[in-house]
Amino acid sequence: MGGVQEAPSKGGKKSLNIELNLVPFIDLMTVCVTFLLLTAVWSVTGRINIDQSVARPDKKQENKEPPKRLTVMIDKTGYVVKWADERPEPIPLLGPGKYNAAGLKAKMKDLLAEKVKTDQRIMVAPIDEARYDEMISVMDTCMTLGLNNLMVADAASVAAEMQ
């Protein structure tokens, strides 16, 4: 423990002995040093490198056609499948609220055999009233066929291109 002792003053008063308990201060410093050493390791792994430089587009990219997209919209009437600029093809419901997952899988297999590549971007667009499990069913169908580049959008955002 640390201590402080004052010399007697001229007035004849007694000397003051003050003892400081330094143990809590040492404990606090030990915890702070340990904490700082541990967090220094995690600050390096949590860093994200972002390149903010703006590169000029290559001439090759300017002549390149925009990527084609396969869109599967889930609405009240069933599925609507649209590939690139082709006409949308509806896959109607089997019954009230029962979607035709087998018909969707067959259509996706046909597109995969003819036009679509496995790295193709697939847009799944359910309406607001669609059940969550129907959206997951469509995504599972795509993934079982090897189409893993999936995106989810709102049906209202793709409704104009489905006309």
Q: How high is the mean pLDDT of the chain?
A: 80
Co-location of 83 and 119 in the same domain: yes
- Does residue 102 lie within any of the structural domains? yes
- Does residue 60 lie within any of the structural domains? no
- Does residue 131 lie within any of the structural domains? yes
Residue 10 neighbours by CB under 8 Å, 6+ apart:
none
Structural domain count of the chain: 2
First to last CA, the chain: 84
- Does residue 163 lie within any of the structural domains? no
Co-location of 27 and 82 in the same domain: no
- Does residue 153 lie within any of the structural domains? yes
pLDDT confidence tier of residue 18, bands split at 50, 70 and 90: confident
* Per-residue three-class SS string for 85-122: CCCCEEEECCECCECCHHHHHHHHHHHHHHCCCCCCCE
Co-location of 72 and 144 in the same domain: yes
DSSP letter, residue 83: E
What range does the domain containing 147 cover?
A: 65-158
Residue 28 clears pLDDT 90, i.e. is over it: yes
Co-location of 26 and 92 in the same domain: no
- Does residue 8 lie within any of the structural domains? no
- Does residue 57 lie within any of the structural domains? no
What are 133-162's pLDDT values in tens digits? 898 899 889 888 888 888 888 888 888 777
- Does residue 151 lie within any of the structural domains? yes
Co-location of 95 and 26 in the same domain: no
Co-location of 78 and 119 in the same domain: yes
Co-location of 71 and 25 in the same domain: no
Q: What is the pLDDT of residue 148?
A: 84
Co-location of 41 and 70 in the same domain: no
Co-location of 111 and 141 in the same domain: yes
Distance, CA of 106 to CA of 101 (rounded, Å): 9
